[in-house]
Amino acid sequence: MKQRIITALILAPLAIAAIFFLPLQFFMLFAAGIFLLASKEWAGFVSKQPSSATLYIFGLILGITLMLMPIGLIWGPELPHHYIITGLTVAVTWWCVALVMVIRYPTSATLWRNSKFLKSIFGLLTLIPFFWGLVVLRSVNMHHDFYFGAELLMYVFLLVWAADSGAYFAGRQFGKHKLAPNVSPGKTIEGLLGGLMSAVIVAYFASHFFAIPAEKLGLFFAASVITTLVSALGDLTESIFKREAGLKDSSNLLPGHGGILDRIDSLTAAVPVFALIYIYWLV
């Protein structure tokens, strides 16, 4: 616990500072660094003898997407470039597939357990949209208000953190019914509901902070609830891959916290899903 607290006290301010104060180009470098560290860990899901080839391939594909989508083309007059919208739509489709994988686990794992190719594709579908979701949200309205996108992105982080904390305490106090016993035996339906209630409280205060107009208030709460639920899916999906790889943590990079993937598993789902909902419902 001491290690967890010390690591969190170091990492949280660094992440918040990067979100709020880095120019977009440097924020993209920061996000790319997280992407590469997570890609290295994903190699451990792909094979019990991880190869650096996974890191190189993931990095190459990220580089190709960066060449296809220069910074100046991310946002048009109103909506992001169609490449961005297509990528985020693919991400939402992937998380729908992941939901089926979680529900049907361990049966679903028989389809991909021995396929390095499929596990690599799953990694790309998880991490590439996460990177672009971060960039899209951070760059919202940046020319008119440098901090608005940072506040929006921070809101998604707070939703996930509130849901995680609420689920932990509600699960310990009231947890009786297992949520996904074959995937993560410690998670309960009561914990999920507690996390959802915590996130709704955050959404209530955020609706005032962002001055959400009355006609979009329902959409804002719906977006927040969907984002919270899909963040739990991100956590469960990573648990499947760790279980299949025989790993407790994705790595030991962060003392007391495991690896980068262990810290961002919920965010890999929440960020791109919220970004797409924001584009269609809240812009």
Per-residue pLDDT of the chain (283 residues; tens, 9 = 90+): 677 778 778 888 999 999 999 999 999 999 999 999 999 999 999 998 888 899 999 999 999 999 988 888 888 777 788 889 999 999 999 999 999 999 999 999 999 999 999 999 999 999 999 999 999 999 999 888 999 999 999 999 999 999 999 999 999 999 999 999 999 999 999 999 999 999 999 999 999 999 999 999 999 999 999 999 999 999 999 999 999 999 999 988 887 678 999 999 999 999 999 999 999 998 7
Q: What is the pLDDT of residue 1?
A: 60
pTM above 0.75, yes or no: yes
Provide the pLDDT for residue 82.
87
- What is the distance between the alpha carbons of residues 3 and 258, in angstroms, rounded to a whole number? 11
CA–CA separation, 75 and 53 (whole Å): 33
Query: How far apart are the C-alpha atoms of 137 and 103, rounded to whole Å?
Result: 30
Q: CB pairs under 8 A, 24+ apart, for 209-216?
A: 209/151, 210/151, 210/152, 210/155, 216/281, 216/282
Q: Which helix (H) or strand (E) holds 184?
A: strand 184-188
d(CA 146, CA 123): 31
In the block, tokens 């970004």 appear at 275
**Residue 247 domain boundaries:** 2-282
Assess whether the previous peptide bond of 13 is cis (omega < 30° from 0).
Answer: no
State how many domains the chain has. Answer: 1
Nearest alpha-carbon partner for 272 in 131, 105, 151: 131
